[in-house]
């Protein structure tokens, strides 16, 4: 037999409260009432919050309009915002930003330091920026940091920010080509100790960090420190690392500067410091570009724009070189296994000159005289066959470019240059070898040097190749081919001429890069090909 045990009946929470001491019972009832009233108050406030936040943001931030789907205040006094959308008023499509989840909360741990501050956490934001939207922001007289963002946010959550975190951001920038946008994914950003609570005497007391993907396969990492309260500017000092960034997505941006990109990846690491006083110190420790095809494309339509870009680039270069507050240094940069070309679509016929298997190295490049001279070495195959070695020394510019350049091209296959020969000499060849030697010295607004081309085993006329051409053109090429044979230099079978390049620079205010391009244009097209014609004519007269 088993004994039955009588269980006491269960009491509800109201019965339990009723059984308490009268003082405790009153306190419990007051607490429940307070929680109930507080919950009702939070619920009622949360119903008004989306409209309140929209109103404050739209009134405070210039040039943009906001909408908020949901918002509520939690018992811990954290503000939760869901589905916030931001559009630019002048260019509303597409929305500039969409934020699925934004939390503003009190950093309770910082109360131990005697301060009341907050942190912001933004999850999975999407930014979609177009070229018109970017231009509007750049051209706006009110800079973006003065558009009222901070005051607008503080108006509905009046606790100063101390930590800012963004998780899994997705950013798209559409330049001129909507089919090839620039895409950044899985971006995480952290900025801590914004209010300088823990180390107020440190020059850069705040930790900053950024990681993410660039163009799907590339990777960016930034680690450093900042001072967000510095005056008159925010200061920061950070290391930046880029790994395996594909270059081809930059085609739409590069096209604005007449540069065409195909393939190639970039890796780089460096350091960037910007002080509160506005001093900039940028050091690129290593830069490497591999397997790229890079062409500069000239067309009749782009001539005016090219001139504007050249003038702007020259002004910028001069300003940086003469600005002691801005220090730029490249310790080591290289381009390997690549092809560098120049395309002239303004010529008749159009042509392309290129250096295949290009290997370019630059050491110790700087905009400051105290850093000394930089060294340049370029090797490759001119037009796919001519062994090429270019070496140079570049010194930081004063009032005009300052550099030395040695160029050697040997045994290039001349028929590969037929488009160039047709464009400038109205002639083509079926055989021949081209070589070139040049030394150039540019300093104090003057140039000294020479260009010496050599042509070997040139054969202009080929009945099989030219059988479809008219009789007069065949006769012309036959005569030129015969003259080339007469000009052969003894046993070496070479045609040679030398053009001296001495005198003042055409425009001393141009940059080193533009000066080199001008010298290539003048030395090659204005000296080599016409010089070849003059040499043939003089030899014919002597004969």
Q: What percent of the chain has pLDDT over 70?
A: 70
What pLDDT does 336 receive?
97
| Rounded CA separation 365/414 (Å) | 35
Q: Is 105 helix (H, G, I), strand (E, B) or coil?
A: strand
* Listed residue (37, 46, 43) closest to 71, CA to CA: 46
Mean pLDDT value of segment 233-249: 94
| Rounded CA separation 15/26 (Å) | 14
Number of compact structural domains in the chain: 1
What six digits make up the tokens of 115?
């301060």
Handedness of CA 403, 264, 294, 282 (dihedral sign): negative
Query: How crowded is the C-beta side of 233, counted as CA atoms within 13 Å?
Result: 10
The number of residues in the chain equals: 543
pLDDT beyond 90 at 91: yes
Q: Which residues contact 33 (CB under 8 A, 6 or more apart)?
A: none
112, exposed or middle or buried, with CB in 10 Å at 0-12, 13-18, 19+? exposed
Q: State the pLDDT confidence band at 245, using cuts at 50, 70 and 90.
A: very high
* Omega before 386 within 30 of 0, i.e. cis: no
What pLDDT does 268 receive?
97
| Average pLDDT in the chain | 79
Residues 205-228 pLDDT 10s: 999 999 999 998 999 999 999 998
Q: Are 118 and 160 in contact (CB under 8 A)?
A: yes
Residues 323-340 pLDDT 10s: 567 888 999 999 999 999
In whole angstroms, how far apart are CA 360 and each of 235, 258, 293, 335? 35, 21, 13, 5
What pLDDT does 472 receive?
46
Task: List the single range of 49-63, 165-179, 406-420, 514-528 with lowest mean pLDDT.
Answer: 514-528
Strand-pairing partners, residue 190, are: 165, 209
Confirm whether 165 is domain-assigned.
no
Confirm whether 317 is domain-assigned.
no
Q: Which residues contact 46 (CB under 8 A, 6 or more apart)?
A: 71, 72, 73
What pLDDT does 436 receive?
87
Q: State the pLDDT confidence band at 244, using cuts at 50, 70 and 90.
A: very high
Query: How crowded is the C-beta side of 533, counted as CA atoms within 13 Å?
Result: 11
Place of tokens 């009233």: 37
Strand-pairing partners, residue 375, are: 363, 393
* Omega before 537 within 30 of 0, i.e. cis: no
Q: Which residue has the higher pLDDT, 213 or 43?
A: 213
Q: Is 141 helix (H, G, I), strand (E, B) or coil?
A: coil
| Rounded CA separation 194/189 (Å) | 14
Q: Which residue has the higher pLDDT, 246 or 137?
A: 246
What pLDDT does 510 receive?
56
What pLDDT does 39 receive?
52
Residues 425-448 pLDDT 10s: 777 888 888 888 888 888 887 888
| Rounded CA separation 220/213 (Å) | 6
Q: Which residue has the higher pLDDT, 261 or 144?
A: 261
Q: Are 501 and 449 in contact (CB under 8 A)?
A: yes
Domain containing 496 equals 355-543
Residues 396-433 pLDDT 10s: 766 667 889 899 999 999 899 889 888 877 778 888 88
Residues 381-399 pLDDT 10s: 999 999 999 999 988 766 6
Q: Round to the nearest angstrom and report the end-to-end CA distance of the chain.
A: 142
Mean pLDDT value of segment 41-53: 72
| Rounded CA separation 481/462 (Å) | 9
pLDDT beyond 80 at 308: no
Q: What percent of the chain has pLDDT over 90?
A: 41
What six digits make up the tokens of 45?
């406030």
Place of tokens 């040039």: 63
Number of C-beta neighbours around residue 359 at 10 A: 14
Confirm whether 366 is domain-assigned.
yes
């Amino acid at each position: 037999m088993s004994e039955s045990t009588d269980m006491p009946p269960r009491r509800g929470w109201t019965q339990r409260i009723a059984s308490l001491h009268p003082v405790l019972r009153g306190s419990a009832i007051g607490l429940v009432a307070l929680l109930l009233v507080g919950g009702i108050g939070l619920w009622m406030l949360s119903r008004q919050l989306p409209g309140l936040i929209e109103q404050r943001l739209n009134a405070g931030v210039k040039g943009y309009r906001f909408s908020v789907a949901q918002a509520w205040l939690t018992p811990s006094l954290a503000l939760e915002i869901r589905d916030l959308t931001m559009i630019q008023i002048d260019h509303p499509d597409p929305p500039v930003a969409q934020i699925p989840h934004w939390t503003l909360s009190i950093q309770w741990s910082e109360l131990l330091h005697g301060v009341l501050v907050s942190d912001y956490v933004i999850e999975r934001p999407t930014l979609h920026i177009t070229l018109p939207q970017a231009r509007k922001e750049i051209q706006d007289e009110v800079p973006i940091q003065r558009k009222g963002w901070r005051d607008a946010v503080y108006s509905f959550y009046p606790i100063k920010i101390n930590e800012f975190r963004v998780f899994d951001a997705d950013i798209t920038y559409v330049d001129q080509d909507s089919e090839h946008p620039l895409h950044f994914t899985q971006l995480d950003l952290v900025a801590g100790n914004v209010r300088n609570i823990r180390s107020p005497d440190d020059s850069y007391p705040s930790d900053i960090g950024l990681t993410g993907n660039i163009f799907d396969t590339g990777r960016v990492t930034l680690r450093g420190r900042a001072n967000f309260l510095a005056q008159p500017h925010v200061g920061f000092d950070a290391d930046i690392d880029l790994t395996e960034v594909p270059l081809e997505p930059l085609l739409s941006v590069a096209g604005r500067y007449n540069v065409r990109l195909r393939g190639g990846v970039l890796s780089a690491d460096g350091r960037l410091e910007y002080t509160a006083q506005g001093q900039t110190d940028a050091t690129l420790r290593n830069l490497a570009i591999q397997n790229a095809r890079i062409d500069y494309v000239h067309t009749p339509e782009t001539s005016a724009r090219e001139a504007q870009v050249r003038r702007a680039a020259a002004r910028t270069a001069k300003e940086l070189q003469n600005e002691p507050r801005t220090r730029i240094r490249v310790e080591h940069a290289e381009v390997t296994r690549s092809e560098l070309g120049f395309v002239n679509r303004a010529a008749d016929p159009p042509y392309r000159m290129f250096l295949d298997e290009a290997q370019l190295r630059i050491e110790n490049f700087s905009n400051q005289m105290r850093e000394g001279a930089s060294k340049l070495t370029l090797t490759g195959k001119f037009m796919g066959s001519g062994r090429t070695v270019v070496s140079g020394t570049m010194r930081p510019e004063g009032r005009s470019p300052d550099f030395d350049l040695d160029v050697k091209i040997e045994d290039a296959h001349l028929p590969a240059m037929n488009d160039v020969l047709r464009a400038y000499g109205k002639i083509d060849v079926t055989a021949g070898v081209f070589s070139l030697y040049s030394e150039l010295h540019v300093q104090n607004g003057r140039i000294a040097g020479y260009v010496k081309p050599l042509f070997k085993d040139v054969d202009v006329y080929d009945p099989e190749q030219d059988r479809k051409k008219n009789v007069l053109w065949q006769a012309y090429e036959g005569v030129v081919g015969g003259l080339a044979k007469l000009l052969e230099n003894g046993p070496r079978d070479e045609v040679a001429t030398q053009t001296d390049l001495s005198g003042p620079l055409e425009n001393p205010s141009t940059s080193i890069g533009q000066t080199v391009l001008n010298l290539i244009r003048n030395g090659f097209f204005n000296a080599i090909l016409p010089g070849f014609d003059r040499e043939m004519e003089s030899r014919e007269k002597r004969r």
